[in-house]
């Protein structure tokens, strides 16, 4: 056992990363007593016992143009985290997703002798594959969440471990379906439609109005339809309430990741991201929507080398749920696809079967626990039997 209390610097820039890092640190404390955590994150990491030196709530944006608008804030956060790495020389830097930011942080940390563990692998297999060699120079170990990523990094002699997806084995209801429906007052045969507008401010701005208009059209087509809005912890009430009231829709708001409520849905409209995998693991048919600024989308099309953006489709290797991107992400397309899911039982059953295969492919390995074991071994060799 190390003579001093090991110090871990954690860096998570988005709501999902904050949650993953919190789960990791909770598991790590059980393996390495006395370990201290400092870094960048949000409420989940703070609750897990990490000393938050930099609040990440305002910098979780996607798209080159969107990042440019927040460049000053992101740059200040990066400068601060680099300074912390240099001044405090942590025993280990754990970068959780947030790839471009953490790439630069890892480079600075490595330059001053700090070991680096990167969690939620940069998807270099999907875009800019030539950059994998650069990651090899700044990362001591890559912890990947999908099995197919292992041979990609191994082929470039980068130490890699498949730890499992952080959601695998965790995304499950606590109540059976009848009890959950009773809890949320969802009695009767009317369809239940889930709305997941995302956790970032730019997602709410670009896509929430589209999702609400889609729901309004569905309310006209399906008498008595119920709508559940899943509000991410990082989204303020002020960002959604005005739009909700203006829509005139009767929408029941669910706070956070509530899998009991999610299993009650017959179909879901969700933005691209981690939420799509949560919906897939629960087994609910969905439509995935996304919009970026025109410039960000154009540049992305030049760089991305895979045909899908939704994690369920990427994992399945085929389009098992519909994706509507940019101009195709409109209320007509979205409402039509949700309507098809609700009207055609065989179509919905086919989607559910494909989602079950995705769930089976992910397995039930506890990603947070496996990552904690890897981090503990890097901190204190021999600490984990």
What residue ranges do the domains of the chain occupy?
7-168+364-379, 177-362
Indicate the pLDDT class of residue 61, thresholds 50, 70 and 90.
Answer: low
Pinpoint the alpha helices (H) of the chain: 15-31, 43-48, 64-69, 71-88, 99-111, 132-138, 149-154, 177-183, 201-221, 237-247, 259-262, 274-282, 294-303, 311-316, 331-343, 345-362, 367-379
Q: Which of 11, 34, 20, 16 is nearest to 376 (CA)?
A: 34
3-state secondary structure (DSSP) of residue 128 = coil
- For residue 194, CA distances in Å to 9, 108, 262 come to 37, 42, 7
Indicate the pLDDT class of residue 147, thresholds 50, 70 and 90.
Answer: confident
How many Å apart are CA 11 and CA 82, to the nearest integer? Answer: 11
Indicate the pLDDT class of residue 332, thresholds 50, 70 and 90.
Answer: very high
Q: DSSP for 90-117?
A: -SEEEEES-HHHHHHHHHHHHHTT--EE
* Residue 65 pLDDT: 47
Choice between 316 and 365, residue whose per-residue pLDDT is larger: 316
Q: In this predicted model, what pLDDT tens digit does every residue of 209-221 receive, in sequence order?
A: 999 999 999 999 9
* CATH 3.40.50.2000 applies to domain 177-362: yes
Question: pTM of this prediction?
Answer: 0.78
Rounded to 5°, the CA angle 215-216-220 comes to 110
| Rg, the chain, Cα only | 21
Asked, colleague to colleague, whether 7-168+364-379 and 177-362 share their fold, the answer is yes
Report the phi/psi class of residue 330: left, alpha or beta, with left for phi > 0 and alpha for psi in -120 to 50. Answer: beta
Q: Percent of the chain having pLDDT more than 90?
A: 59
360 CB burial (10 A radius; 0-12, 13-18, 19+): exposed
Q: Which of 290, 358, 356, 279 is nearest to 323 (CA)?
A: 290
* Residue 11 pLDDT: 97
Choice between 161 and 307, residue whose per-residue pLDDT is larger: 161
* Residue 273 pLDDT: 86
* Residue 298 pLDDT: 55
Q: Rounded mean pLDDT of 358-374?
A: 88
- CA torsion angle for 61, 72, 242, 338 (degrees, to 10)? -10
Residue 318 has pLDDT above 70, yes or no: yes
Q: In this predicted model, what pLDDT tens digit does every residue of 246-269 receive, in sequence order?
A: 888 999 999 877 999 999 999 999
How high is the mean pLDDT of the chain?
88
Domain 7-168+364-379: give its CATH architecture. 3-Layer(aba) Sandwich (3.40)
Residue 373 has pLDDT above 90, yes or no: yes
How many Å apart are CA 219 and CA 199, to the nearest integer? Answer: 25
Residue 1 has pLDDT above 60, yes or no: no
Residue 83 has pLDDT above 90, yes or no: yes
């Amino acid at each position: 056992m190390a003579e001093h209390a090991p110090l871990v610097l954690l860096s998570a820039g988005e709501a999902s990363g904050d949650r993953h890092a919190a789960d990791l640190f909770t598991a790590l404390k059980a393996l390495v007593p006395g370990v201290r955590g400092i870094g960048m994150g949000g409420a989940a990491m703070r609750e897990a016992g990490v000393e938050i030196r930099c609040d990440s709530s305002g910098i979780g944006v996607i798209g080159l143009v969107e990042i440019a608008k927040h460049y000053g804030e992101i740059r200040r956060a990066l400068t601060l985290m680099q300074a912390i790495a240099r001044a405090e020389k942590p025993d280990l830097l754990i970068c959780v997703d947030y790839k471009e930011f953490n790439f630069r942080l890892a480079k600075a940390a490595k330059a001053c002798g700090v070991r680096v563990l990167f969690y939620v692998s940069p998807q270099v297999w999907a875009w800019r594959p030539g950059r994998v060699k650069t990651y090899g120079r700044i990362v001591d170990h890559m912890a990947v969440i999908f099995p197919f990523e292992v041979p990609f990094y191994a082929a470039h002699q980068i130490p890699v471990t498949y730890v499992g997806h952080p959601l695998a084995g965790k995304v499950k209801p606590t109540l059976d379906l009848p009890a959950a429906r009773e809890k949320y007052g969802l009695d009767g045969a009317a369809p239940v439609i889930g709305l997941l507008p995302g956790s970032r401010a730019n997602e709410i701005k670009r896509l929430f109005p589209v999702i609400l208009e889609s729901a309004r059209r569905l309310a006209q087509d399906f008498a008595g339809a119920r709508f559940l809005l899943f509000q991410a912890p990082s989204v303020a009430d002020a960002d959604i309430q005005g739009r909700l009231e203006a829509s005139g829709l009767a929408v029941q708001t669910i706070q956070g990741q509530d899998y009991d409520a999610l299993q009650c849905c017959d179909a879901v409209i969700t933005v691209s991201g981690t939420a799509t995998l949560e919906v897939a693991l629960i087994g609910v048919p969905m439509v995935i929507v996304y919009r970026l600024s025109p410039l960000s989308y154009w540049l992305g099309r030049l760089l991305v080398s895979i045909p899908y953006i939704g994690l369920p489709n990427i994992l399945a290797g085929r389009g098992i749920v519909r994706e509507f991107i940019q101009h195709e992400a409109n209320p007509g397309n979205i409402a039509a696809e949700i309507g098809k899911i609700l009207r055609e039982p065989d179509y919905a059953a086919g989607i559910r079967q494909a989602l079950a295969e995705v769930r089976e492919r992910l397995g039930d390995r506890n990603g947070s626990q496996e990552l904690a074991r890897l981090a503990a071994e890097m901190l204190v060799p021999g600490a984990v039997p």
